[in-house]
Chains A and B, each alone.
Chain A
Amino acid sequence: MELSIRREDLTRGLYLVQGVVERRSTVPILANVLIESAEGGITLTATDMEVGLRVRTPADVKRKGSVTLNARKLYEISREVTADELLVKATAAGWVEVHAGRSKFKIVSLDPKDFPQLPLAMDPKGGVTMEVAAATLREMIDKTIFAVSTDETRFNLSGVLMEAGESGALRMVATDGHRLAKIDRRVPGPRPERGIIMPRKGLVEARKLLDEVDQGDVTVHVSPKDMRLATPTVSFFMRIVEGEFPDYRQVIPGSVRAKARFNRDDLLAALRRISLLASERSRGVKLHLEKGKLEASASNPDQGEASEDIEISYGGEALSVGFNARYLIDVLGVHAEGEVIELGLTDEVGPGTVSGASDPEYTYVVMPMRL
């Protein structure tokens, strides 16, 4: 293979694939990026076999072929050299020369045949394909991923469920058993027949890619074994979690006893301050509701106590419920600044709900704690 490529193009492509290169050193070829000649340029592919990424980038291919080079090294070379154009040339078997201005690098290439085959094609048999705005997908991920369980042994909770909502919307749900986040968004296209569970790590990588897309659309493909994303220049796949997501519907309360409305920023700021004195282990804060007022308080036998009240719109009877401050801060953090939030409470043991007053399609359920 022989090609010349603009440094800028190579650097950007390598920057994108960088993130998914295998970090464990047990399989050397997975530390490499696979460079293949393609229509109008080259593709750069990297994987850790849980996620994989292929970037198409323009290049002037003089001789077709493929090589694999250490992704990290090539990226650093591409960033460090000053020439605008790099020449990449496979010489003897196993060696590749990179020329950039007056610099010349001779790098080991591992056999491309040993590079794993990845499910990156966007015309696969089985599964469904949708066009979704990148911004919508970003929002859905951001508003659920924080509720994913961190307990690896509860593997069916170790990711975000994607499925068809009752109303035909696209739905994502995550829960760790203490709280649950569920979001529905109307996007065109068919829905997967069965829900899939997307693991946290795959979503984190997908999320980075979606940032690159900015305002455009992405093609989402859901198959029984994996989930793929594609833009005109990038293809991505993630393996999905095996197993059934638990029946989360029974967790969402049909109705709540008390509803209070307040400004998202007020409670978020108050909780951040008050939780400084919450016990490190439980992170518990007490919310006390009375007419027009919410008092948040925390105490820690070793350090002291704190309380703060904010103005709310509430006309019901007085009520006190304890929560893990983290669980409330997480969800308020993903709501838009200045948004009016509706907090629903039942009693000291019943679930609480948090939602945007103008967005009933995003629901958050949180279990109280005894303080």
Chain B
Amino acid sequence: MRFADVLGHDAAIERLRRAAATQRLAGAYLLTGPAGVGKRLLADAFAARILCAAPRDDDACGTCAQCTRVAAGTHPELRLLERDEERRDIRIEQIRELSRWLALQPLMAERKVAIVDGAHCLSEPAQNALLKTLEEPPPSAVLLLTTPAAALLLPTVRSRCQRVRLDPLPPESVARVLAARGVAPEQATLLAAEAEGSPGRALASSGDEEVRARDAMVGALRTLRTLDAAALSTLAQDLARGPADGALAAAAAWYRDVLETRLTGDPPRRHPGAVAAVRAAADRSRAECTLRQLELVCDTINALDRNANRILAIETMLLGLRALERDDSPRQGPA
């Protein structure tokens, strides 16, 4: 990974390039920004630049002995720390092990770099342990912390790091990332519009399974008032078993478009291929109803983030969305 491979974030890249070029590296950086916006990619690129033996144009060369090892994951001066999949947080033992490693002389390069990906997952004892290292970092060490939720870090940890803020990318940039990964242009535009500036999020929802889940969700929303409880229950089970996050994001995007179309009359930005369907939905519902539907979807997304029962949460949401819609237009009775 090189700076050249990171899309957008020009100001942040420029700042890190300059720091590396002038050898004015801070002991620790905190990269913040929404999930999937490119924090980890930028951390990887910065690490590669710091370790590269023959940088070109203030970027890692990608071919020197250091760069090839960084790419192969066998560079002795680069270490990645993240939450173990089966654990709730990054444990203090992991930080202790990292501190021990950080104390070692670099072997191949002049510096050593540790990336703590998802730093908000650090347990409080782990943060306190890390604090000691941040207060007195070994001379050649650079720590790169990434997090979408800097507020979850202790203020003392935050204040010891140089903050690098990554803003959401414009939808066109996100679409370009998707297109470069082989997503069909129309699909890319659609996903990019929903991704709120986060290529990672858009990519995560571009897989076949994700696309199917989203299509199923949006398809159901279009005909919600005609679906019976059994159909909603089946849909909830299917979604809960699969990648539900993308489907819920799609539901939120759908209601946002319906709401905007209703209020402004503009064509839907997130569903440019479904102008007629969005307009029809906008004509059917009052804005307050759509707004409450949108809120319900967002509440469900939050509930799932907090590890709610997936089937139950999604089924309740679908029933709630249908109830709101039916209450909104009592002329049309249940199917």
Contact = CB atoms under 8 A, between A and B. Distances in A.
Interface of A: 26-27, 29-30, 49-50, 114-117, 119, 152-153, 155-156, 158, 199, 201, 224-226, 239-243
Contacts of A117: 65, 108
Nearest to A244: B139
Best-buried of A116, A119, A158 by chain B (most CB within 10 Å): A116
A153 B132 contact: yes
A194 to B, nearest CB: 12
Nearest to B73: A27
Q: 9 nearest interchain CB pairs?
A: A155-B103, A153-B132, A152-B99, A49-B76, A239-B104, A114-B72, A116-B74, A152-B100, A242-B105
Nearest to A238: B104
Given A30-B74, A114-B72, A116-B76, A240 B138 contact: no
B104 A50 contact: yes
A119 B104 CA distance: 15
A158 B100 contact: yes
B99 A26 contact: no
Contacts of A199: 100, 103-104
Given A114-B72, A116-B76, A153-B132, A239 B105 contact: yes
Contact of B139 (A114, A115, A116, A243): A243
B304 to A, nearest CB: 29
26 contacts: A26-B80, A27-B73, A30-B74, A49-B76, A50-B101, A116-B69, A116-B74, A152-B100, A153-B133, A153-B136, A155-B103, A156-B103, A199-B100, A199-B103, A224-B105, A225-B105, A225-B107, A226-B105, A239-B104, A239-B105, A241-B105, A242-B103, A242-B104, A242-B105, A242-B106, A243-B139
Contacts of B67: none
Contact of B107 (A114, A156, A226, A243): A226
Interface of B: 65, 69, 72-76, 80, 96-97, 99-108, 129, 132-133, 136, 138-140
A119 B72 CA distance: 19
A226 B105 CA distance: 8
Contacts of A241: 103-105
A225 B106 contact: yes
Given A26-B73, A29-B74, A242-B139, A155 B105 contact: no
A152 B96 contact: yes
Contacts of A224: 105
Given A49-B74, A115-B74, A153 B129 contact: yes
Nearest to B139: A242
Nearest to A153: B132
Given A152-B129, A243-B139, 13 more contacts: A27-B73, A29-B74, A50-B101, A50-B104, A119-B107, A152-B97, A152-B100, A152-B103, A199-B100, A239-B107, A241-B104, A242-B140, A243-B138
Best-buried of B100, B108, B136, B138 by chain A (most CB within 10 Å): B100
Contact of B103 (A115, A119, A158, A225): A158
Contacts of B108: 117
Nearest to A199: B104
Nearest to A48: B76
A308 to B, nearest CB: 38
Nearest to A24: B97
A201 B73 CA distance: 22
A240 B104 contact: yes
A152 B103 CA distance: 8
B110 to A, nearest CB: 11
Contacts of A114: 72, 74
B105 A240 contact: yes
Best-buried of B96, B100, B103, B133 by chain A (most CB within 10 Å): B103
Contacts of B74: 27, 29-30, 49, 114-116
A50 B76 CA distance: 8
Nearest to B134: A153
Contacts of A116: 69, 74-76
A50 B97 CA distance: 12
A225 B73 CA distance: 21
A310 to B, nearest CB: 39
Contacts of B106: 225, 242
Contacts of A239: 76, 104-105, 107
Best-buried of B104, B108, B136, B139 by chain A (most CB within 10 Å): B104
A155 B103 CA distance: 5
Nearest to A29: B74
B93 to A, nearest CB: 10
A124 to B, nearest CB: 13
A225 B69 CA distance: 19
A268 B293 CA distance: 76
A239 B76 CA distance: 10
B138 to A, nearest CB: 5
Contacts of A201: 100
Contact of B99 (A119, A155, A225, A226): A155
Contacts of B100: 152, 155, 158, 199, 201
A117 B96 CA distance: 26
B202 to A, nearest CB: 27
A201 B99 CA distance: 13
A243 B103 contact: yes
A9 to B, nearest CB: 28
Contacts of B105: 224-226, 239-242
Best-buried of A152, A156, A199 by chain B (most CB within 10 Å): A152
A110 to B, nearest CB: 10
A114 B140 CA distance: 25
A114 B102 CA distance: 23
B108 to A, nearest CB: 8
A158 B108 CA distance: 21
Contacts of B96: 152
A343 B104 CA distance: 36
A29 to B, nearest CB: 6
Contacts of B72: 29, 114
A98 B107 CA distance: 34
A63 B101 CA distance: 39
Contacts of B139: 242-243
A322 to B, nearest CB: 29
